[in-house]
Amino acid sequence: MQRALVTGGLGFLGSAIVRSLRQREVAVRVLALPNEPTDNLEGEAYELVRGDVLDLEACRTAMDGVDTLFHCAALYKAFMPDPRRMYEVNLRGTFNMLEAARRAGVTRTVYTASIVSIGRPPKGRLADESTPYEAWDVDMPYSRSKYHSREVAESFASWGMDVRIVCPGAVFGPGDIAPTPSGKIIINTLKQRGPAVYTAGGTSYVDVRDAAEVHVLAATRGRAGERYIATAHNLDNGELMRAILDAAGDRRALRRLPSGLVRHLVRGMERAALRRGAEPPVASNFYEFSLTPGFYSNEKSRLELGASYRPLGETLRDALDYFRARGLLR
């Protein structure tokens, strides 16, 4: 691997992939949206190309002279009253990038999926890369769009193209410039007054730097057509709240609320936000999805790729420092 293209390379995970590549002295080109801020790669050596993954010609131009594609660009939002653009970016954008890579003869492609693109396990078990998707009872556009776009990427693999898939857990850490729905969990937890409230459910979390490293390892050590889960910490919602408060030195008590009560509150806040044209603190589709714990095994990434994962406390402290530096937390 000598020259790589990273789509979404100015974003949270994409910029971490760029830094991981540059540590290996790989030349990097970044495809980013017009006017997207470059803060996350300040001081880094890379080539910047402006364009949109929905523009097939821009995709083809960005691919010139590249041997490896990291397609990380996606629309990740918890709340979209009209999710059509999310489906368009995540599906058609993926097709455009992989078709451009195929036509350009790119040696290998690493596509960023998500753990929400694969299934949640039965209670008491861990899911792995082969767990079938089952969340059809929850209308969660991000999950469904990542499931379908993963299928697009894997279709290219079935046609003989070298495509490797990475499925990160919920990503935390420094550089969450948006911030993403994952980062907002940290911010909203610390902005609560009184006891930190939570409800049933949980999921799996990973440091952005570790997730980025798995992408690069998938390119250098992975196998064509394979999926690799990049995650480290399976936590129920109470455990996550406690970890966030501990990282902040906040000794507030935790209070678990009944799921039905929280559902009523979440839906009420969402309706109020819609009337104001604002974003609610919690989107109802994310809440419903999280009620079924999504806990995952990282065994394949550790054994096949040699991946390693840092402690959650380190990740959360670094994320807090980043959010404070940007004025998002006191």
Q: What is the pLDDT of residues 214-233, one digit of tens each?
A: 999 999 999 999 999 999 99
- Report the percentage of the chain scoring pLDDT > 90: 88
User: pLDDT value at position 43?
Assistant: 94
Given a cut of 90, whether residue 81 has pLDDT beyond it is no
User: pLDDT value at position 279?
Assistant: 85
User: pLDDT value at position 282?
Assistant: 85
User: Residues 6 or more apart from 159 whose CB is under 8 A from it?
Assistant: none
Give per-residue pLDDT as tens, 279-293.
888 889 989 998 999
Given a cut of 90, whether residue 323 has pLDDT beyond it is yes
User: pLDDT value at position 60?
Assistant: 95
User: pLDDT value at position 273?
Assistant: 86
The predicted model gives 2-23 an average pLDDT of: 98
The predicted model gives 170-198 an average pLDDT of: 93
Give per-residue pLDDT as tens, 22-47.
999 999 999 999 999 999 999 999 99
User: pLDDT value at position 167?
Assistant: 98
Q: What's the whole-model pTM score?
A: 0.96
Across the chain, mean pLDDT equals 95
Given a cut of 90, whether residue 133 has pLDDT beyond it is yes
Least confident of 86-90, 196-200, 308-312: 196-200
Token output for 103: 């036509």
User: pLDDT value at position 89?
Assistant: 97
**Between residues 31 and 195, the one the model is more confident about:** 31
Rounded CA gap, 60 and 67, in Å? 13
Report, at the CATH architecture level, how domain 3-175+204-233+295-312 is classified. 3-Layer(aba) Sandwich (3.40)
- Report the percentage of the chain scoring pLDDT > 70: 100
Given a cut of 90, whether residue 85 has pLDDT beyond it is yes
Given a cut of 90, whether residue 193 has pLDDT beyond it is no
Q: 68 falls in which pLDDT band (50, 70, 90)?
A: very high
Domains in the chain: boundaries: 3-175+204-233+295-312
